[in-house]
């Protein structure tokens, strides 16, 4: 008969997500995870498997928080407003006191260049899903006339992904929220040009 867990799985995953997001996959040691979660080694492994399994669950936790953004974008009255909504939420995250929200586990993992094929595939999949979300919003904005940019939606989405990545790096470099907002506003203003 399995013992009942005496910890909150969501809280443990949130703590592990913050540790991985702050330090990266490779640099997050078992002792860091034990300190962050408050669990013993055996409890951690019994509940979540090995480090890779825990990291993949942490990526899922971080991505699940992003679902509210996709919902808000879908509810936006125009494609332009959907894009503004995306960057508004991104900037809110960048201003957060919570490292697991302020920094991005997906961007960090891709920059780190994790060698593990399953981890890399998951990170690329999540990156691709965000790119597709932006591409759809750009296409919608082009159809409804809320942006003037006529470049292919996939290319515009790639450029916006670059903006997102730049903002995430700027956060790590310590740029304050007003400068981040100015960066995003300037980039979005380019959508007003054909």
pLDDT by residue (tens digit) across 25-58?
Answer: 999 999 999 999 999 889 898 899 899 999 999 9
pLDDT by residue (tens digit) across 117-162?
Answer: 999 999 999 999 999 999 999 999 999 999 999 999 999 999 999 9
Asked whether the predicted pLDDT for residue 72 surpasses 60, the reply is yes
Q: 137 with 83: CB under 8 angstroms? A: yes
Asked whether the predicted pLDDT for residue 167 surpasses 50, the reply is yes
Asked whether the predicted pLDDT for residue 19 surpasses 90, the reply is yes
Q: pLDDT exceeding 90 applies to what percent of the chain?
A: 69
Asked whether the predicted pLDDT for residue 99 surpasses 80, the reply is no
d(CA 186, CA 62) in angstroms, rounded, equals 27
Confidence of residue 1 (pLDDT cuts 50, 70, 90): very low
Mean pLDDT of the chain: 91
pTM: 0.86
d(CA 24, CA 42) in angstroms, rounded, equals 22
Q: Structural domains in the chain?
A: 9-61 (1.10.10.60), 66-192 (1.10.357.10)
What pLDDT is attached to residue 6? 76
């Amino acid at each position: 008969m399995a013992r009942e867990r005496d910890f909150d799985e969501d809280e443990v995953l949130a703590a592990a997500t913050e540790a991985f997001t702050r330090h990266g996959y490779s640099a997050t040691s078992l002792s860091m995870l034990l300190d962050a979660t408050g669990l013993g080694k055996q409890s951690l492994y019994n509940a979540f498997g090995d480090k890779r399994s825990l990291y993949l669950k942490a990526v899922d936790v971080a991505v699940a928080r992003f679902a509210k953004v996709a919902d808000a974008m879908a509810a936006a009255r125009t494609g332009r407003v959907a894009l503004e909504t995306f960057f508004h939420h991104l900037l809110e995250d960048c201003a957060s006191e919570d490292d697991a929200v302020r920094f991005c586990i997906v961007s960090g993992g891709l920059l780190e260049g994790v060698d593990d094929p399953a981890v890399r595939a998951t990170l690329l999949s999540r990156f691709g899903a965000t790119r597709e979300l932006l591409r759809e919003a750009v296409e919608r904005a082009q159809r409804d006339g809320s942006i003037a940019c006529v470049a292919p939606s996939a290319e515009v989405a790639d450029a916006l992904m670059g903006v997102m990545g730049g903002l995430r790096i700027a956060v790590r470099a310590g740029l304050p929220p007003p400068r981040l907002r100015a960066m995003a506003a300037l980039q979005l203003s380019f959508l007003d040009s054909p």
